[in-house]
Amino acid sequence: MAKSLLAWLALLALGLLVLLAGGLGWIDAGGKIHVDRIIAAGRRSLVEKKGANPNSSTSASSVPVVGAVDDPEMVASEVHMAINASTSRRELGFLSCGTGNPIDDCWRCDPNWQLNRRRLADCGIGFGRNAIGGRDGRYYVVTDSSDDDPVNPRPGTLRHAVIQDESLWIVFKRDMVINLKQELIMNSFKTIDGRGVSVHIADGACITIQFVTNIIIHGVNIHDCKPTGNAMVRSSPSHYGWRTMADGDAVSIFGASHVWVDHCSLSNCADGLVDAIMGSTAITISNNYFTHHNEVMLLGHSDSYERDKAMQVTIAFNHFGEGLIQRMPRCRHGYFHVVNNDYTHWEMYAIGGSANPTINSQGNRYLAPINPFAKEVTKRVETEQYVWKGWNWRSEGDLLLNGAYFTPSGAGASASYSRASSLGAKSSSMVASITSGAGALFCRGGSAC
């Protein structure tokens, strides 16, 4: 009798929820649930609480730069709520193409995604969730793959697009390989959106996000980046200047905030694949496929640079694949949420750090290499145990395979490995489906991506 009553109450609640969702426009006449509208409603609520106008247009000059949040644990909790919500909707059959990945389930089910590209900006999660890129600007179509003059770029080139002062959503007319002569120095409020075509930034300089805000990099292949510099490079329509030598990172984030790198394929660069330093914060690195590289990701400038204490980075749904050695990531000072990633290759270690970073590892799958001396997921870099034993590094729900082990410290040391394993079997069992589309997607207009 009690079970029947509970079932009846559950059906009643579901019915009320459906009625509410329909009244709010979350479900259309055909019964389709619009996840993006639910997420956007939450975003509007957040903006309204802050006293802003969600319908106003956004420009680089009118929107304040907001950095680190006061409660990073709250943001980590919101990420898990989003994952659980997508998982529940998938199990209930609401999303026939759903994977349980809340970013992808927000936009990939839409067969008209090509007509609704800017919806992507409302799908972010984690610390970089408020990066809107060029959502409120016009479309800019890249028609020319050349990069002949970094000081006076031709209209139609990617460099001409990213240096503009206005908000822009940048797309590409056709497949192209872009060989950059010098760093691609981005201006604020830009989205680089490679969906629908195959775009490679390769065999030259790559992307620099320096002292700007609200950047989205999505759906591009970035590889074989080389050191460049000692040259003049334009960074805006009104300014160009001398650039010293760049390291050869695929994506270099320097003193920037609200940055989201999603669904990119990155490999084989001279320095890092994604490096964030010098006080950068509010960053999400998600759905990327990393391969064939040594030092994958550096987050934090140096042990002595304490401004990086404000750094907050979410690393979610990525596949760390073949040919990787270390730094997935290597952290300093800040707060790093590493959630539902698939680690299938490393040679030295997966996650490292120094200078007392907080590392929150949840629901990842760690497959250790054959080498019996490289089974440990974690590495405290050049630090004695009596120093790092108080650092807050914790593992919750991680799946540790082939002898992999995570050495917790600080508050995380109180959780036993058996408890972590029992939680991990449930949460990390979804990693394969969540990360199945990691990297640049092959999408064509007219069908779900």
236, containing H or E segment? strand 231-236
CA distance 2 to 25: 35
CA distance 448 to 106: 12
Identify whether the C-beta of residue 438 lies closer than 8 Å to the C-beta of residue 263.
yes
Q: Is 327 a catalytic site residue?
A: yes
Identify whether the C-beta of residue 291 lies closer than 8 Å to the C-beta of residue 104.
no
Strand partners for 217: 192, 261
User: ω before 372 within 30° of 0 (cis)?
Assistant: no
- Distances from the Cα of 392 to the Cα of 128, 337, 395, angstroms: 22, 12, 10
Identify whether the C-beta of residue 233 lies closer than 8 Å to the C-beta of residue 256.
no
417 CB-side CA count, 13 A: 8
Catalytic residue among 234, 327, 330, 365: 327
CA distance 164 to 161: 6
- What 3-state DSSP class applies to 411? helix
CA distance 26 to 37: 6
Active site residues: 327
